[in-house]
Copies of this chain bind each other. A is one copy, B any other.
């Protein structure tokens, strides 16, 4: 049985994102998994990170990032952040549900990432830098469930918006993999502004099927930072590991797409 944290971000109760989130929670619960949910709009989640988040930790001369790490070490992070960190510690699986706004997550969810994944919790720094593996979130599995307004063709290999997998790389690799989490392939629904009742029934079935097999899904084969694939200090990929001709984000997959 899994312990699943779901985080959802849509301002409307009657949105596709909210409906699919409800279905995911119901399916997982029905299958006997434990589920905790953070519905960010309903919680009135504070989006903008600021020094009030650090409680009585005075940042002094250190940067904002180091101040977040000191507040984590001191246990002085604000209660809303500590509550989310507790949920993340508890969970073995994390689902983020959101509509794709401007090719990324809505601000309120970005604010969940910015504020909850503090230094010390989401990553370390310095010689023992826990990045891309080895951190507190190591080994958890994470997945995006994303509603995209545009057509799938616009996000295909030659689509004007760019390939959806590349657009999600800053999140899947830069947030999930960076903090040590395994990435399950995103569940993406295109043309999400034009959903008929018949299509909604199909989308609901597809998501139920996905949730029922969540514990069996193979993760995206991103390379780990501690795998030996990267030069030790500069963290650039060693020569010769990729399929010839591979460039950009794809270099950071052990197995070519």
Give the interface of A toward B (CB within 8 A).
10-12, 15, 40-41, 45, 47-51, 59, 63-66, 99, 101-108, 110-111, 113-115, 117, 131-132, 149, 151, 153-154, 156-163, 166-167, 169-171, 173-175, 178, 193, 225, 230, 234-237, 245, 247-252
Contact = CB atoms under 8 A, between A and B. Distances in A.
A101 B63 CA distance: 13
Contacts of A245: 245
A167 B64 CA distance: 22
Contact of A48 (B107, B114, B117): B107
- Copies of this chain present: 2
Contacts of A236: 153-154, 156, 158-160
Contact of A158 (B104, B131, B158, B251): B251
Given A15-B64, A107-B111, 18 more contacts: A11-B49, A11-B64, A12-B64, A47-B48, A102-B110, A102-B114, A103-B175, A107-B110, A107-B114, A154-B236, A159-B236, A159-B237, A160-B235, A162-B173, A162-B249, A166-B166, A166-B248, A170-B170
A103 B159 contact: no
A88 to B, nearest CB: 15
B103 A160 contact: no
Contacts of A237: 158-160
A84 B11 CA distance: 21
Contact of A103 (B107, B162, B170): B170
Nearest to A160: B235
Contacts of A247: 157, 247-248
